[in-house]
Structure 1
């Protein structure tokens, strides 16, 4: 079964829009795990416009499933991750002003940088994953960095699937097959939803984990968070 990690950035965005502490990020993380989610993902950015660095610290004692921290490995992020020591760190090449993640790493161009960062995390017992586009040479590049896993950037698939183009899955299948053959674990995320998650999971070999936030939270406004998590778990079986 593919694991479901829930990205709770949107909960922090909602909290920050009014100030105060409602909804409470820590309580939400407790609840989604109680409802069956198998991981909690956060993506703190330097401007702390949603998840704050202190949230990352506050969540550490309550996340008893997998704790995944995503982000661009700038100095402040490196220090935060090394302090918290989550289950997994997912490296994402975000610009500081990016609204959301919009590209994977060029693992060839940034190989030396990634090797150094990954080595430091691994020496501290933190599993590493690299956010990548479904391009074969980038998977080979990810292998050369020493990363434990990749996270396939699935926005292109999700957009094309919504237009009825199921062939959009093909490059993801090829990259997943290559990653598996190279001994790299496979995660995926970005714009996955109840509409497309089963098709994606059924076609991607050896998919270990999906990280879903925006769609899951939006769907939960209509359907209820506990119910939505159960629906995802059913589709991932």
Structure 2
């Protein structure tokens, strides 16, 4: 298991990108895969750091230890990218991070591993929720922003549009009695890894309607990292401390 050096903490997405150069698409697959693993580990630290003020003890820790920490499922222990557990709650909040960082060499799109990722996510959500139905599970798929710009014009949506259509079926667990293979919320995270907007990171909630062919989303269709965190906390509070209002007299 790869951990993150204590010397490189991550407070912004740009910190994650700046940790090491991103291999070019022409680099060997093994080099790109190794980078993807380290990139995912840094993302997990960034997410935990951003949520840490609200969820004390969330893993991984700022120094990178506690990566892929274990949580009890219906089928024994499984590893979680971001894990908030307490003795009272068991698993309270889990965040699962997926990343498709390069276009497929044949199709020139980012859609090749959608089915595999969805199968992994379905199994993960089901195993955790069957054991701990009150756990809040958040799924995030990271795609480069150019995945929103590869619409061929031949009846195929952009890879981003295809991702929204494909993964919206993995979201929407708004009550404990809902199917366990769903996540409470699922987002497509679009990011710029180069150019003048390098470090730009936006989150798109797959539950919102999409225009045809999944063009690049506008600023009012996405939320920032801070807004994403606010939404996660809101979903968690709704599950664990739902608001109560008296009827008007």
Q: TM-score range by the shorter chain?
A: 0.3 to 0.5
Larger Rg: 1 or 2?
2
The TM-score, its normalising length taken from structure 1, stands at 0.36
